Amino acid sequence: MDRMLKKCVIFLGLFLFCHSVSAAPERIISASHSVTELLLALGGEKKLIAVDQATRLPATVDGLPVVGYYRQLSTEGLLAQRPQLLIGSAQMGPVNVIDQVRSAGVRIEQIPEAQTGEQLLNNIDQLASIIEKPAQGLKQSVRDTLQRLAVDRQKISQPPRILFVRAQQGRGFKAAGVATSPNSLIELTGGVNAATFSGYKALSGEALLQLQPDWIWFASGQAQALNNGAELLNWQPLLKFTRAGKTQQFLAIDDYALLGGIGPTSLKEAQKITQLLVSRENAATR
């Protein structure tokens, strides 16, 4: 009888262990703004127990603990939340912290930053599978938005040259080239990136002049310091001789549309921008 009882206990323990491994995680920390957006859009708000400090939560989801900056997470801060899953992008780190958290029994998932609409749809599938939520509704919504963007892009006869910059007074400008989130947004809106190098690069006034952008974009967090773009001409006078400077075509981009690759905020921002580009082109040809 004792032997039979022992076998039952062992069997029950193995069953519970296997179930805990295979069951969808119920306590999730998201260390990526775009991942958090998708998780919420998939209906996973009740599973979310903490986020990183770069994540913007909607008003309907408030009061969650913040575990730090997604590149500088701490083992103690993460484990204190008793997560079953830590999810973020490949930039989540440091690596030793991620390894320590994994060793403590926490499941780790890293989702690639989407640079295209197709990659975003793949990310939705991946995340939906992880949290065991249906993906079809969100995917259809994203497809509809991508289709509307494609229709609006067809209305732009001459794709504008766009330059996204990060500016600091006295320290020059850094421009976003290809393989960056601003580049992905530029392509979504029907523009052409004036910078063809990879990543971010510091540019002199002469280099900015040679690029001849039609538009200069910057993050909305800099809008006040840049006086909605007008201050750029004082910080770098040569910009006055670019098409963007001559026409005062400066645009503040929602910071959160640029975080973690293409996500729902990026699509919403892209729709607004594309409509603006169409409107400006139509006004110029009248």
Distance (Å, rounded) from C-alpha 108 to C-alpha 244? 45
Annotation: CATH topology of 15-136: Rossmann fold (3.40.50)
The pLDDT-based confidence of 4 (bands split at 50, 70, 90) is low
Over 60: is that where the pLDDT of 6 sits?
no
Percent pLDDT > 70 in the chain is 92
The pLDDT-based confidence of 20 (bands split at 50, 70, 90) is very low
Distance (Å, rounded) from C-alpha 105 to C-alpha 88? 17
Dihedral of alpha carbons 89, 116, 263, 131, sign: negative
pLDDT at res. 285: 78
Over 90: is that where the pLDDT of 188 sits?
yes
Q: What is the mean pLDDT of the chain?
A: 91
Q: Residue 70: which of 93, 39, 50 has the closest Cα? A: 93
Over 90: is that where the pLDDT of 222 sits?
yes
pLDDT at res. 3: 56
Q: Residue 249: which of 268, 272, 224, 277 has the closest Cα? A: 277
pLDDT at res. 132: 97
Q: What residue ranges of the chain are covered by domains with CATH 3.40.50.1980?
A: 15-136, 157-284
Instruction: Give pTM, 2 decimals.
Output: 0.88
Over 50: is that where the pLDDT of 122 sits?
yes
pLDDT at res. 57: 94
The pLDDT-based confidence of 172 (bands split at 50, 70, 90) is confident
pLDDT tens, position by position, 229-271: 999 999 999 999 999 999 999 999 999 999 999 999 999 999 9
Average pLDDT of the residues in 188-208: 96
Over 60: is that where the pLDDT of 17 sits?
no
3-state DSSP assignment of residue 114: strand
| Structure tokens that stand for 282 in this block | 């139509």
pLDDT at res. 1: 45
Strands 48-51 and 28-30: parallel
Over 70: is that where the pLDDT of 39 sits?
yes
Over 60: is that where the pLDDT of 212 sits?
yes
- Which CATH architecture describes the domain 157-284? 3-Layer(aba) Sandwich (3.40)
Over 50: is that where the pLDDT of 154 sits?
yes
The pLDDT-based confidence of 168 (bands split at 50, 70, 90) is confident
pLDDT at res. 15: 43
- Judged on CB neighbours under 10 Å (0-12, 13-18, 19+), 209 is middle
DSSP classification of residue 251: E
